[in-house]
């Protein structure tokens, strides 16, 4: 293997340690960052994500409270809870765990969160601020992707970056953030023609597709930075990325593993946004 492994677990751990120090200092000034996590129904994957977020809060010193609502919760009840949390001074960040049960209007719920408490960065106000480069909460996974690239020490200016995937939560925001770092960005999707040829031009390749091991080693430019956002459960119950790690790691310069790459960064960035929200609420940023 020639590629250097970008260890997302280690990077996220060091971010959490920095945050723990920062939270301790804030507490010394009487400020305890607070995160409310709202979960509706009993989706097992959502339960795991919520538990991980609560554990991360405890580790960093953030106050967290969980609002677990039954699957049959009505839209208005959920909106009422969000509005109440918007008004709660102990809560600086509100996270509604997705997906919501089908009868609930996800967009309406996310749009009800106060943009100043929108630590997931999904509210259109924050998305708009991100696009025009104003201070905002960056969405956690794309922010984590950029942070991992930044830690390779590679200057993105003038580099060719290719993003596979154009979802609102990963592909599009990753492309915008790469553009803001002066990369020349191509965004690919399911209708893109000759994807392997486009990928071969990439100095930085970000895969956010949701198809196990779709990106092969011979799609990768020698020495490229490869960031694998995909999380795919194989028939053997193991996790696979969107990139075929065994072949890609022979060619890439840097590569993230799955698990242990982008995944841990998402929660670290959520913690970072919550601390930032608390600081802003107290005029410290
Ligand atoms: P979506 O399903 O919303 O988007 C997938 C994107 O991939 C779409 O834009 C789609 O194109 C594109 N695509 C699908 N098939 C192909 C193909 N054959 N060739 C090229 N492009 C294709 O997924 P998400 O963006 O939400 O997530 C992507 C992956 O990242 C998933 O595996 C998900 O589990 C993972 N993920 C990981 C996170 C983490 O913390 N590590 C957080 C969030 C997601 P089109 O638009 O044309 O349909």
Q: Is 209 in the pocket of ligand 1 (CB under 6 A)?
A: yes
Q: Is 170 in the pocket of ligand 1 (CB under 6 A)?
A: yes
Catalytic positions: 53, 97, 120
Index of the ligand 1 atom closest to the CA of residue 242: 32
Tens-digit pLDDT profile for residues 103-130: 999 999 999 999 999 999 999 999 999 9
Q: Under DSSP, is residue 280 helix (H, G, I), strand (E, B) or coil?
A: helix
Is CATH 3.40.50.720 correct for 140-263?
yes
Token pair in block for residue 204: 């930085």
Q: Is 174 in the pocket of ligand 1 (CB under 6 A)?
A: no
Residue 214 Cα, ligand 1 centroid: separation in angstroms?
A: 12
Q: What percent of the chain has pLDDT over 70?
A: 100
Is the pLDDT score of 131 beyond 70?
A: yes
Vertex 101 angle, CA 97 and 106, to 5°: 60
Q: Is 189 in the pocket of ligand 1 (CB under 6 A)?
A: yes
Q: Do domains 30-115 and 140-263 have the same CATH topology?
A: yes
Residues 171, 187: contact at Cβ < 8 Å? Answer: yes
Q: Which CATH class is domain 30-115?
A: alpha beta
Q: Is the dihedral of CA 59, 60, 65, 66 positive or negative?
A: negative
Token pair in block for residue 139: 């969405």
Rounded CA separation 135/126 (Å): 9
Tens-digit pLDDT profile for residues 254-265: 999 999 999 999
Q: What is the DSSP track for 55-124?
A: HHHHHHT-EEEEEEE-TT--HHHHHHHHHHHHH-TT--EEEE-SSPPTTS-HHHHHHHS-GGG-TT--SH
Residue 195 Cα, ligand 1 centroid: separation in angstroms?
A: 15
* Cross-strand bridge partners of residue 40: 69
Listed by start position, the domains of the chain span 30-115, 140-263
Tens-digit pLDDT profile for residues 18-61: 999 999 999 999 999 999 999 999 999 999 999 999 999 999 99
pTM of the model: 0.96
Residue from 45, 165, 228, 261 whose mutation best tests the ligand 1 pocket (most atoms within 8 A of CB): 165
Cα atoms found within 13 Å of the Cα of residue 208, Cβ hemisphere only? 24
Nearest by Cα to 149 from 136, 163, 165? 163
Q: Is 211 in the pocket of ligand 1 (CB under 6 A)?
A: yes
C-alpha 185 chain-centroid distance: 19
What does residue 232 show for φ and ψ, rounded to 5 degrees? -130, 130
What is the per-residue pLDDT for 1?
65
Residue 276 Cα, ligand 1 centroid: separation in angstroms?
A: 28
Q: What is the DSSP track for 121-142?
A: --SHHHHHHHHHT-S-PPPHHH
What average pLDDT does the segment 231-252 reach?
Answer: 96
Name which residue sits closest to atom 47 of ligand 1, judged by CA: 190
What is the per-residue pLDDT for 285?
80
């Amino acid at each position: 293997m020639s590629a250097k492994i970008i260890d997302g677990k280690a990077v996220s751990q060091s971010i959490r340690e920095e945050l723990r120090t920062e939270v301790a200092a804030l507490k010394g000034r009487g400020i305890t960052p607070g995160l409310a996590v709202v979960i509706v129904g009993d989706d097992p994957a959502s339960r795991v994500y919520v538990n991980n977020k609560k554990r991360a809060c405890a580790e960093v010193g953030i106050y967290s409270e969980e609002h677990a609502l039954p699957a049959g919760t009505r839209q208005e009840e959920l909106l009422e809870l969000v509005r109440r949390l918007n008004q709660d001074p102990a809560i600086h960040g509100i996270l509604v765990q997705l997906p919501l049960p089908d009868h609930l209007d996800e967009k309406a719920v996310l749009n009800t969160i106060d943009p100043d408490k929108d630590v997931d960065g999904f509210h259109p106000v924050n998305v708009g601020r991100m696009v025009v480069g104003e201070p905002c909460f960056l969405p956690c996974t794309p922010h984590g992707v950029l942070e991992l690239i930044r830690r390779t020490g590679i200057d993105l200016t003038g580099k060719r970056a290719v993003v596979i995937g154009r979802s609102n939560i990963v592909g599009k925001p990753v492309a915008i953030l790469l553009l803001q770092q002066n990369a020349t960005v191509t965004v690919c999707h399911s209708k893109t023609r000759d994807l392997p040829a486009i990928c071969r031009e990439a100095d930085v390749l970000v895969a956010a597709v949701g198809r196990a091991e779709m990106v092969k080693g011979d799609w990768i430019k020698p020495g490229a930075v490869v960031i694998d956002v995909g999380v795919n459960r194989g028939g053997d119950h193991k996790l696979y990325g969107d990139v075929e790690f065994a072949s890609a790691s022979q060619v890439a310069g840097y590569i993230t593993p799955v698990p242990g790459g982008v995944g841990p960064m998402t929660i670290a960035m959520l913690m970072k946004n919550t601390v930032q929200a608390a600081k802003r609420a107290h005029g410290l940023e």
